[in-house]
Structure 1
Amino acid sequence: MPRRALILVEGASNGPLYVQAAHRLGLHPITLSADPAQYDYVAAEGAEAIRVDTTDLEALISECSRLRSTYDIAGITSAQEAFCATVGKLCQHFDLPGPNPASIKRCCDKFTQRQLLAAANVPVPAYHVAASATDVESAAAEIGLPVIVKPAVGIGSSGVRLCSTVEELAAHATYLLGGTRITQSPPKILIEEFAQGRYYNVDTMGHEVIGVGTAEFDCPPHFVFREVTFPAPLGKGEHERIADVSLSCLQALGLGWGPANIELRWTKRGPVVIEVNPRLGAGPQLIHLAYGIDLVTEHIKLATGGKCDLLKKRSHTAAWRYLLPDLDGTLDWIEGDTQAAAVPGIAEVKLNAQPKKPIIRKGDSQDCIGYVIAASPCPAHTAAILQRAVDLISWSVTPFATPGK
């Protein structure tokens, strides 16, 4: 009998979790990637990777067909949003469970997503799409400064900026519409009202809300996560309103198979949807620690024709602190991770940066040089554990030399 395999199209920050979960389920994970070397966890986890052009659907179909001569392909999925629509097409071709590729494609275009949500009376910020600097100025004038300016297609807060002045608006619009930014996305950007209020993120699986988390950001004008807590401290009424809006998003966008993550803010008019992502959120570890639900495993079960177990097994509070440098330069050293990991209640400590490597902040998720995750039955205790561990980690950055000095 051929070995059952799980095909993973590219990887991402959650890539190792998918490989580990596949192994636990008795599956052989095979990553298809344009550059397999970028995923160091593949070899570390004893998995397999194959080089293939993952932007070429026919090449992926050909490779999967070749693999079927050796393996029983149980499912195809991806941890990376940019490839979720491709996964949907592959699943349709091989008659495997998967998401609707048309729905995923509509969702990944933030302008189209906004249109569909607004048409369904889902509360969203005021917005306009722009393809030129003149369009940007007109849109901002109509909405009123400050505004959020971001690419219509993108992930990880890349290119997202709060613009408070006409000068900031012009500079960032030039950057996104051509300038110094290199992107495969069309030069189309969104200008949105800055919805002010507490930030929440909602994780769903199928048509079920799993839970609601909250997060704090680092310094504006960028939107880089500093700390995420799950679950968010919400009253019953607030939780129900957020859950209802989230389910309305799934219906409006034609989602409802597999995972999704909805970002919103609680404003003066209640919950306002910032973005819907047709994938798992950035930290499924928090849900696992808080509720005992492993969403990665449940997603793989779904992708391989099984049923999800979304029953909550405990009620803890988990928190994730990102380690963020406050200047650009060369990382001299970073230490304390071993001591931090030894603190009772710490679930994970990871350092992403290596000494003697340059640090160039871009105002997105790639700025993070490490993280710490804590969990306990008590919210206050979790916060104290997390801070104790973070205080044990330190680093030094030497600023880049200023020309002429």
Structure 2
Amino acid sequence: MFGEEAVVTVAKHLGAPPVFVETGHDVPAAPPAPEATALVDSAVHAVKALGLGWGAAHVELRLDGRAARVTEVNTRLAGGLIPELVRHARGIDLVGAQVRACLGLPVDLTASPDAAGAASIRFLIADTDAVLGDPGGAESAAPAVPGVTDAALYRTAGPRRPGRGLPRPLRPCHRRRRGGGIGRRTGPSPRAGHRSGARAGGGAAKARSPSVWMPV
């Protein structure tokens, strides 16, 4: 959301219960038309009901049948690198728009015809205790997937060895930021972006069907 306008709806992928760790995001989300309308309408109504309507807002909802239920409203830009996904998919600079709004300057949220059309990110999450054997090889292999824009691992190779200062192994995590890396992909359609986004994540981010929707 920006002001009282829903710029784009994002699909959030979650891992298994009971912790539901975030495993990825897709821009744009592609729910059926009635559900898409319900998501946007509920987000706009929530922002108005709270007396907001200036600058960025991040609204999360869940679908209950065709009804959209608001779970949270935040007066900030979305996290999880979502503004970057929106920039790739729609050509809209949400960070720049927020800065311009703060400076009292006009904001243009028009999508660019030259944008990719869709973008996805997947987070590298370990299901069991694991170590990274060859981070460099993984990072260089991911861009070979068609459409992958970048991939990054922020853990180094090898198990932890007491007193040696070497990195600890990846463990099943309860928070996305404790994962091992990311993979991002763009494409002309949501289906293409989502499919290769998952491949860019190396298959480690085992996302279920989107269950949280976020107009941003």
Q: TM-score, normalised by structure 2?
A: 0.78
After superposition, residues 152-301 of structure 1 pair within 5 angstroms as: 204-268=1-65, 270-282=67-79, 283-301=82-100
Q: Which amino acid aligns with 1:254?
A: G
Residue 371 (structure 1) shift: 0.7
Q: Which amino acid aligns with 1:299?
A: Q
Instruction: Determine the C-alpha separation between the residues in 2 that align with 1:223 and 1:384.
Output: 21
User: Quick check: which one's strand share is greater?
Assistant: 1
Q: Which amino acid aligns with 1:261?
A: H
1:324–1:368 Cα contact (<8 Å) kept? yes
Q: Given the alignment of the two structures, is residue 311 of structure 1 paired with residue 113 of structure 2, yes or no?
A: no
Instruction: Determine the C-alpha separation between the residues in 2 that align with 1:311 and 1:304.
Output: 19
- Three-state SS of the structure 1 residue aligned to 2:53 is coil
Q: Can you give the 5+ residue segments of structure 1 that lack an aligned partner in the other structure?
A: 1-203, 394-405
1:321–1:371 Cα contact (<8 Å) kept? yes
Aligned position for 1:370:
181
2:126–2:173 Cα contact (<8 Å) kept? no
Q: 1:392 to 1:221 in 2, by over 3 A?
A: closer
Task: Mark the structure with the bigger radius of gyration.
Answer: 1
Instruction: Determine the C-alpha separation between the residues in 1 that align with 2:48 and 2:203.
Output: 45
Aligned position for 1:25:
none
Residue 290 (structure 1) shift: 1.3
Aligned position for 1:321:
122
Instruction: Determine the C-alpha separation between the residues in 2 that align with 1:239 and 1:386.
Output: 22
After superposition, residues 53-202 of structure 1 pair within 5 angstroms as: none
Q: 1:215 to 1:369 in 2, by over 3 A?
A: same
1:213–1:228 Cα contact (<8 Å) kept? yes
Residue 320 (structure 1) shift: 0.9
Instruction: Determine the C-alpha separation between the residues in 1 that align with 2:27 and 2:50.
Output: 25
Which fold has the larger relative contact order, with Cα–Cα distance below 8 Å and residues 6 or more apart in sequence? Answer: 2
Residue 312 (structure 1) shift: 1.1
Instruction: Determine the C-alpha separation between the residues in 1 that align with 2:196 and 2:177.
Output: 25
- Three-state SS of the structure 2 residue aligned to 1:325 is coil
Instruction: Determine the C-alpha separation between the residues in 2 that align with 1:365 and 1:223.
Output: 10
Q: 1:363 to 1:392 in 2, by over 3 A?
A: closer
- Three-state SS of the structure 1 residue aligned to 2:7 is strand
Residue 328 (structure 1) shift: 4.1
Runs of 4+ in 1 over 6 A off after TM superposition: none
1:330–1:357 Cα contact (<8 Å) kept? no
Indicate the larger mover: 367-376 or 332-341.
332-341
Percent of pairs with identical residues = 29
Indicate the larger mover: 294-303 or 373-382.
373-382
RMSD value, Cα: 2.3
Aligned position for 2:148:
346
Aligned residues: 190
Aligned position for 1:132:
none
Q: Can you give the 5+ residue segments of structure 2 that lack an aligned partner in the other structure?
A: 158-165, 205-216
2:12–2:22 Cα contact (<8 Å) kept? yes
Residue 233 (structure 1) shift: 1.0
